[in-house]
Amino acid sequence: MKALSVFSKLLHPNMLARFAVYARLMRLDRPIGTLLLLWPTLWAVWLASDGRPDFTVLAAFAAGTFLMRSAGCVVNDWADRDIDGHVARTASRPAAQGLVSKSEVVKLTLVLCGLAALCLIPFDFKTWLLAVPALFLAFTYPYTKRFFPVPQLYLGLAFSFGIPMVFMATLGEIPALAWWLFAANVFWTLAYDTIYAIADKADDLKLSVQTSAITLGRFDAEGAMLCYAIFDLLMMQVGLMINAVWLYWLMLVAVVCWQWRFYLNIQTREPQACFDTFLQNNKIGLLWFLGIVMHYAYI
């Protein structure tokens, strides 16, 4: 009877409404962030295992990616609640609208982090230690927009820390290959999040928020493309280190073609075009994942 009572409370319309707010706070309706965080994690899982991923590693890091991205969104939206309300694209976020309290944010963050920590149970203590700087970067990123001229670089570090964690969980060490991949993902994140920042540039200038798009000035689009170029060069280095077959290099050609299309789209600096281009980066992550998978399938 007690279990039935708890279940009925969970299904109460008021509780369901709260769950809907929490889902929006976690951005469950906008999975692009999870995908952009998941692709480099999957790259690392395949590379660390020589194309034979362990199911435990794959499942644990996939679930952990989703949970930590959700926790990061909760913290980010609470930290930016006074800013988001003045930006057209983010004004409808729950924290900006005052739909959640600080207590709810803290409790939800703790639950998500607790669940993410459970994903690390199968791995050794060194993998757990790497989770500490990853957590620090994820939760301090929102505040870098107040003083750091390139907060997108800081986000790149936060979005890349799953890579060395995967290698440590799989191999018990972090080889040079992992750090090359880490660096590549930092520049990929810097590229697509600069494009994302271009979309909000007018609002951010009014609010005195720091972004790479503002720091780069009229060369913001070109700066994003330079980051893509560095990302491509670093992925070429990854390919050389694994003696990649032609299928991997074919994906490089496809990626460069997509990036050129991105540049044509963002040259106008039109906000919607820039935001749509940001979303298209999911295809870049998928292409490189296919390149890595096909390399190991071919050999």
Instruction: Give the number of domains in the chain.
Output: 1
Task: Give the mean pLDDT of 62-68.
Answer: 96
In a domain, 10, yes or no: no
In a domain, 229, yes or no: yes
Are the beta carbons of 75 and 138 closer than 8 angstroms? yes
In CATH, what number is assigned to the domain containing residue 271? Answer: 1.10.357.140
* Whether residue 3 has pLDDT greater than 60: no
Are the beta carbons of 33 and 99 closer than 8 angstroms? no
Q: What is the pLDDT of residues 132-177, one digit of tens each?
A: 999 999 999 989 988 899 999 999 999 999 999 999 999 999 999 9
Task: Give the mean pLDDT of 3-16.
Answer: 53
**What pTM was computed for the model?**
0.92
Higher pLDDT, 61 or 2: 61
In a domain, 3, yes or no: no
Task: Give the mean pLDDT of 240-250.
Answer: 97
pLDDT score of 2: 52
In a domain, 205, yes or no: yes
In a domain, 6, yes or no: no
In a domain, 216, yes or no: yes
Average pLDDT along the chain: 92
In a domain, 2, yes or no: no
Q: Which domain holds residue 156?
A: 15-298
Q: Which helix (H) or strand (E) holds 139?
A: helix 125-144
In a domain, 163, yes or no: yes
Quick one: which of 111, 88, 104, 84 has its CA closest to 96? 84
pLDDT score of 17: 86
Are the beta carbons of 56 and 122 closer than 8 angstroms? yes
